[in-house]
């Protein structure tokens, strides 16, 4: 018989378990202890009749998609635009309680610009779920 697993928000009294489990698995999960502390973040708990099975922190970052550059724009102008977009998002992130900003790198030139600014290249594979695809 298949057991049912349910999800609910984590409770304050579970913070210790969440932290201990996250640290115990940090070699597999890339745990960032600051991620659940952002004001837009929350933590979920998956549970069954035996108790909590896992916790999942969820944060609300800004994600800069591929930049749409006017054809013929020189690299200096592209760099200025990327710098200004980043500064704007940093300011808005502070206002909205966002803790991280991601840049979707798709071109060697803009990738290098992002790395020369304050972005760091992550060693993770990124997966995307488009909500509209869940309805088909």
Note whether 95 and 135 are within 8 A (CB).
Answer: no
* Closest C-alpha among 71, 78, 59, 62 to residue 117: 78
Tell whether the model's pLDDT for residue 14 goes beyond 90: yes
Per-chain mean pLDDT for the chain:
89
- 8 has a pLDDT exceeding 80: yes
Query: Is position 1 within any domain?
Result: no
Query: What's the pTM?
Result: 0.77
Q: How many CB atoms lie within 10 A of CB 4?
A: 8
Instruction: Please report whether residue 16 resides in a domain.
Output: yes
Sequence length of the chain is 136
Other Cβ atoms closer than 10 A to 24: 11
pLDDT, tens digit, for every residue of 74-90?
A: 988 988 998 899 999 99
What is the domain range of residue 45? Answer: 6-58
- My answer on whether 103 and 126 are in the same domain is yes
Phi, psi of 78 (to 5 degrees): -65, -45
Question: Which residue in 75, 11, 66 sits closest to 43, CA to CA?
Answer: 11
């Amino acid at each position: 018989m298949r057991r049912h697993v349910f999800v609910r928000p984590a409770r304050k009294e579970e913070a210790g378990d969440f932290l201990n489990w996250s640290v115990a698995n940090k070699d597999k999960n890339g745990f960032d202890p600051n991620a659940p502390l952002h004001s837009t973040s929350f933590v979920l708990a998956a549970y069954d009749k035996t108790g909590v099975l896992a916790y999942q922190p969820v944060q609300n970052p800004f994600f800069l998609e591929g930049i749409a550059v006017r054809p013929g724009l020189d690299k200096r102008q592209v760099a200025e635009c990327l710098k200004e977009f980043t500064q704007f998002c940093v300011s808005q992130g502070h206002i909205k309680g966002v803790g991280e900003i991601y840049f979707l790198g798709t071109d060697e030139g803009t990738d290098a610009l992002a790395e020369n600014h304050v972005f760091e290249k992550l060693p993770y594979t990124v997966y995307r779920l488009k909500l509209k695809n869940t309805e088909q």
